[in-house]
Amino acid sequence: MASASATGHNALLVSIVLLATVCACTAETPYAAGLSEDFYQKTCPQAASIVDAYVTKFLRKDRNFAGAFNRLQFHDCWVGGCDGSVLLNSTQTNQAEREAHVNFGLRGVAEVDQIKAALEHSCPGVVSCADILIMAARDATAKVGGPTWPVAMGRRDGVNSTSFMADSNLPFPVLNFSGLVANFAAKGFNAREMITLSGAHTIGRTHCNGILPHLYNFTGKDDATDTDPAMNKNFAVFLKKHCPQGNRTNTIFIDSTANTFDRAYYKNVLKGKGIFITDSALITNPAGKKVVTTFSKPGSAFFTEFAAGMVKMGNLGVLTGTEGQIRRTCQFVN
C-alpha cells in the first residue's frame, strides 16, 4: 500500500513549484465555450429555483447531504468531464462509473432524479443532468455555511460511463502528496488548488472502506498496529472503534463539524486528525503544510478559492451544442 510520505526529491520539487506558483484562484475564471449564466433564461427560467427548492428539501431531511452533492460534482467532472455520466446505471454489457471501487458509497443519485423529474414536468427535455449536478453542489454548499459562486449552464449529458474510467481518473484515498499533485495536474489544477478542493471534506461522511488503509495497512503489513504514525493516537483509537479491521460498510463523518462548511477540516489535519491518507498527506510537504495552516485561520482566502475551484472544475470536458443529449431520466440514456 502507498505510503503517505513523498520522497525527498519529489517533496522538494513540489515545494518549489508550489511556492513559485502565483495562485490564480481569485481571478475571474472564464466559462467553457457554450456555457452561460443565462442559458435557461428563455427555455426554463425556473430551473435554478426548482433545483434550489429540492436541495433545501433534502438538506432539511439530512443536512449532511451537502457533502454528497459536492462529491457527485467532483466524481462526475473528473471522469470524462462534467457530463452527468456518474449518474448512469450499469447495463448487461457495461459496468458503469458508479460501480467503480473509488465510487463506493456514492450518494445522491436518487435525489438528483427527483430534481430531474420536477424539471421534466416543468420544462420537458431542456435541463441536463450534468447541469443539475453543478447547481446542486453550489446550492448545497451555500446552504450549510459555505461560499456561493456563479454557475454557467449549457452542459449536455454524455452517453458513456465505465467503472474502469472512474478508477483510472479519480484519486484513491491512499495517494501521497506527490500522487495527489499528479492527479490534479492531469486535470489542469495546481497543488494549491488541490489542497483547496480537498477542503470539500469539511462536509460529508464516508464508509470505513476508505479509512481502513490509514488504520491497518499504512505500510502494507495489514495488521491492527499498522497505523499512520503521524495520526493523533487518541483519534486513531476513536476511528478504530467505528471502523473495526475488515469492516468496510460502517459510516463516519469526515470532519468534526461535518454538517457545516468551515475551516475545521484544515485544523483537524494539522492536529493529525485527517480521516484519509490523502488528508494527512497534505502536511507531509512543507509548502502544502503552509497552505493548510493558512486555510485553517479566519480571514483566509479558503472560501473564495474554493468557489473559484468549483467553477473551474465545472468547465472540464463539457458537451455543448448538439453534442451528447438531454436525458429524460438521469440514470438512463435516451
Residue 81, annotated as binding a ligand:
yes
Residue 222, annotated as binding a ligand:
no
Cα end-to-end distance, the chain, whole Å: 41
Distance CA 43, CA 142 (A): 26
| Distances from the Cα of 236 to the Cα of 34, 257, 274, angstroms | 48, 18, 10
Cβ neighbours of 49 (radius 10 Å): 10
Residue 131, annotated as binding a ligand:
no
Cβ neighbours of 51 (radius 10 Å): 26
Distance CA 306, CA 200 (A): 8
Residue 101 a catalytic site member: no
Residue 262, phi then psi, degrees to nearest 5: -150, -165
Residue 257, annotated as binding a ligand:
yes
Residue 202, annotated as binding a ligand:
yes
Helices of type H across the chain: 8-20, 47-61, 65-77, 109-122, 129-143, 163-169, 177-185, 191-198, 212-216, 233-242, 264-270, 277-281, 286-295, 302-313
Residue 305, annotated as binding a ligand:
no
Residue 226, annotated as binding a ligand:
no
Q: Which residues contact 50 (CB under 8 A, 6 or more apart)?
A: 115, 118, 119, 122
Write down the catalytic residue from 75, 207, 214, 242: 75
Residue 329, annotated as binding a ligand:
no
Residue 28, annotated as binding a ligand:
no
Residue 171, annotated as binding a ligand:
yes
| Distances from the Cα of 25 to the Cα of 197, 219, 225, 301, angstroms | 11, 35, 41, 9
Binding residue positions for substrate: 171
Catalytic residue set:
75
- Binding-site residues for heme b sit at 201
Known binding residues? 76, 79, 81, 83, 85, 97, 171, 201-202, 255, 257, 262
- Binding-site residues for Ca(2+): 76, 79, 81, 83, 85, 97, 202, 255, 257, 262
